[in-house]
Structures are given as structure tokens and as C-alpha cells.
A = this chain, B = another copy of it.
Amino acid sequence: MAERLYSLKAEFFKALAHPTRVRILEQLRQGEKCVCEFIEDLELEQPNISQHLAVLRKEDIVVSRKEGLKVLYRVKHPEIFQVLDLVGGILTQEIATTMAELQGLQGKVESKGS
């Protein structure tokens, strides 16, 4: 069952595996955006952003549409936001328990009155 989907899934994750591309997707939660807006919001060089958009496009994560001089991008599958949310939840949980552990350590050190 779906034996060769592994590589496809890995490729998909690879496309998501860069801070800039995650930021681009988070921006797209608000709907269509043109490259010029990414440049402003992300404060990166235009060629750099275009390259990252190309990666997302190649994996069919985003699709583009021309409107005059501008090119508007949007996510192709809204489920991607659920993926981002799930991972965000896992990470938040992880951070919370790490902080709790640190607090625990802190308490121990204090009670020992080093």
C-alpha cells in the first residue's frame, strides 16, 4: 500500500524545510500575495525569494497567476495550513515541557541552596 509514496512525502517535506519558505507560507494564510509584498515583508532580495517560490511551485505547494506586471501566489492545497498548525502545536508543546523541566531544575538548585 502506497509503497513509493515515501520519496514523494520526503520531497514534499524538503520543500517546507527552510525558514524562508515557512515564512512565505505563513504569509499566504492571509490569501494571495505578489512577490513584491514578500520582498517588503520578509526583507530579502528579490532573486532569493523567487528561488524559494520556485521550490514551492515545483512541489505544487503554491500556484501563481499573472496580473499585469505582478505575479500573485497562493497555496494550492489549504491542508498545508493544517500541517503547519500541527507542527506548530508539537513545537509549542515541546517548548512548554522544556521550560517546565528547566523550572524544575531551578527549583532543585534553589532548594539545595548551592
Binding site for B on A (CB under 8 A): 2, 5-14, 16-19, 21-23, 26, 60, 77, 79-80, 82-84, 86-94
Contact = CB atoms under 8 A, between A and B. Distances in A.
Contact of A80 (B2, B77, B84, B90): B90
Contacts of A18: 10
Given A14-B17, A17-B17, A60-B94, A9 B79 contact: no
B23 A90 contact: no
Contact of A87 (B13, B88, B94): B13
B93 A89 contact: no
A71 to B, nearest CB: 21
A84 B82 CA distance: 11
A9 B94 contact: no
Contacts of A22: 6, 9-10, 13
The 7 closest A-B pairs by CB, nearest first: A14-B17, A13-B16, A13-B17, A10-B19, A6-B19, A7-B19, A77-B90
B21 A84 contact: no
A83 B84 CA distance: 9
